Structure 1
Amino acid sequence: MIDEALVRELLYTADDDAVLVLVEGQARVVSHTVRGSTEADGAAVLISRTELVEQLGTDAPNAESVARAAATLRDAADKLGA
């Protein structure tokens, strides 16, 4: 389940290249070092940290913006069948 905490985790990670992925129906934040590993095999990338910051217009959004982003990402994940 994609919630506000997961969106914040992506925003506040030290890895600028981190992404939010779906792996076997589970959403999680994955660093760029893990993306090419077997741990991320079959992962569907939903959004990168960079893309999220661009969409929000800041790397320190308010709670309402985080909630909207989480809802949008949940919808995207649902469409992928998570």
Structure 2
Amino acid sequence: MQNEMKPFLVAYQHGGSEWNVSIMAESFSDARDRLGKLALGRVEGELIATIPNGFGPFAALATFVQNVTRAVRRF
């Protein structure tokens, strides 16, 4: 049985101000472990919408089309 994922708040300093992001994790220690992996991560793009799970494959298709459209515009 998988534990429930919960949002954990992460604070960091940038440009003289404190900022926050949330990390989904099973526990506080899991959140710390996931935070340690962020240095290996990459920025994927701007979050423009959150789509509920109920949209199923349509959400994945819409996201794919938008990402391809944006990539084509860059070239």
Is TM > 0.5 for Structure 1 vs Structure 2? no
Which has the larger strand fraction?
2
Higher relative contact order (CA 8 A, sep 6+): 1
Mark the structure with the bigger radius of gyration.
2
Which has the larger helix fraction?
1
